[in-house]
Chain A
């Protein structure tokens, strides 16, 4: 590695080294998808200043680092994977380690009418199923990680729920990081819900070590007519980890997408979501909860396009920030001309537990239709002193009272999760994180 090498050049070098062996390269359309993306990445690179979409998230420190992809998945004991799982009952589970599929750790108790597979394997065996979907929903001609991911995508989950198949059992995607320093993982997911299908997907990012590793994820999600997806994304990366996730959704008529994103780990975390509401009656719900302490930085950046009339979008993000942590929510809602009776709401509420923590909200409504209902609200607050005194006046100690109030704030998000078996586990994880974040506080 030369002294002048930076993130971009080392990523391009990675591409050069692995190009031939990346999955799907036997196919012309994949070769051109990757090739175009690499050109875009070379042109735009990382947003290192002046880019509105990255106003609050500084990537200069990342840019000084170099990362390398794993050539094969490090060996992990099944027990290590099991303890990180969020679902107790047997279910379809794909496990990836440092971004590479670990077949031995995965289980395929699949309901009929569903395909759940490694994307890399699908590119070898059934690439036709992916053509026309893969790469279609993500914009790569801009600075950031979408182009890089598209060029270097190594593996991830391909889920297809076939027409009129309702699947109530969850599908868990467990992305384990070994925690090796300087390791890069380029994860690519593709979820297709054919018309009338429904599914519950739990995307679970966990770490086995605390090195400064890098993960970028691009998920493309297609929700056809009358289909619905509950998408849970739980992120517990290591304290030094970089985590960049882009989730890009296209929803057709009466297609419903509900996402719950829970961020507890990572040093620098960015969740980008873009949803295109392309059919009447589409409903998109984005709920987020993050608990950040120390120097954690969690950035939520969403864009929802109401392309047609009568679609609904709901965004509700909540953050608890301690230490010197920073939380950002930028929510853009674009109501296109003719998209009458669009109904969009967004809210970002954050709770600051220390004087050095910081929260920013940037709602942006762009409305080009006249008959719409759009609202946004944001609050930044401290713990309610009156509530705390009330609890203490009933004999509840200061620490316990603070903990109760913070947990109550966070619990609202978890309580809204429809998939019940996940709630208790998440309450517990959130509680552990809050306890670790030292609620005695520095206020």
Chain B
């Protein structure tokens, strides 16, 4: 589904990613962990196509398409979804309007009919129950005045309404209490199937108790320095990141990824 080869990227002219290799197949959940500043969000934003994130070398192939050639909205319509680490507040644009516009943009792209108001509301309400979000938040401006937890739930709601083929969650678990964490996990798990893949960027292994990943990768200084199964996350929790090889002498950098 997604094939990342030798990905080098800069943010505002600063080199951040230094040769990432990653293969994600349909149905897989990949966790990406790593210390602060290692480039996790950069990778997520590069995948979503943010403007000032420039790919300087390497390949990004998604479903046979060169992602580098697609605008952010085209990627989204093709089924790539980024749950933001810091969801943006957009005063004056209502949450429900955004959901509807987003869903219909995607449907139109696929040549499907736009959902009528009644079917749309029914769909949203069904998903809202799962994320335990207050209905009132639908009619407020996007993320405006939302608490940290409400913002993250809102990201998950959007994800569940859009049902992306490839969901990238950037630290959606950070700052959440255990109940909210379970909601996020439930959302991701409900998406989990043969057709959907998930990249979970997380700083803590805690989330992985609820979403059991197929692969865990450790990112350091813009490179994947270690890959493994679920147990790697537990090791990291016990031992921290110190024992991980640094990129310069990392021979095992791509072990596990894509296998």
Contacts and interface: CB of A to CB of B under 8 A. Distances in A.
Contact of A396 (B49, B50, B105, B141): B105
B73 to A, nearest CB: 4
A386 interface: yes
A132 interface: no
A412 B89 CA distance: 15
A398 interface: yes
Given A385-B51, A397-B105, A392 B72 contact: yes
Nearest to B98: A394
Nearest to B48: A393
A389 B101 contact: no
A395 B77 contact: yes
Main secondary structure of the interface of A (DSSP, over half): helix
Contacts of B49: 392-393
A404 interface: yes
A387 B76 contact: no
B92 interface: yes
A396 B90 contact: no
Interface residues of A, number: 23
Contacts of B75: 393
A332 interface: no
Contact of B72 (A389, A404, A412): A389
B158 interface: yes
Interface residues of B, number: 30
Interface string B210-229: 00000000000000000000
A398 B77 contact: no
A394 B93 contact: no
Interface in A404-436: 404-405, 407-409, 411-412
Interface stretch (B32-40, B80-88, B112-120): B80-88
Contacts of B88: 384, 386-387, 389-390
Given A385-B51, A389-B51, A390-B87, A395 B92 contact: no
A182 B225 CA distance: 76
B112 to A, nearest CB: 13
Contact of B158 (A384, A392, A394, A401): A394
Nearest to A386: B88
A384 B49 CA distance: 17
Q: Which of A385, A393, A398, A405 has the most CB of B within 10 A?
A: A393
A406 to B, nearest CB: 10
B90 A391 contact: yes
A103 interface: no
Given A387-B88, A400-B101, A392 B93 contact: no
A203 B88 CA distance: 39
Looking at A387, A389, A400, A405, the one whose CB has the most chain B CB atoms below 10 A away is A389
B91 A408 contact: yes
B91 A396 contact: no
Contacts of B141: 408
Interface of A: 384-387, 389-398, 400-401, 404-405, 407-409, 411-412
Given A395-B162, A407-B92, 4 more contacts: A390-B90, A391-B90, A395-B73, A405-B93
11 contacts: A385-B51, A387-B89, A393-B82, A394-B73, A394-B76, A394-B102, A394-B158, A395-B77, A395-B109, A397-B105, A412-B91
Q: Which 10 pairs across A and B sit closest by C-beta, in order of nearness?
A: A408-B92, A395-B76, A395-B105, A394-B102, A392-B72, A390-B88, A392-B73, A395-B77, A387-B90, A386-B88
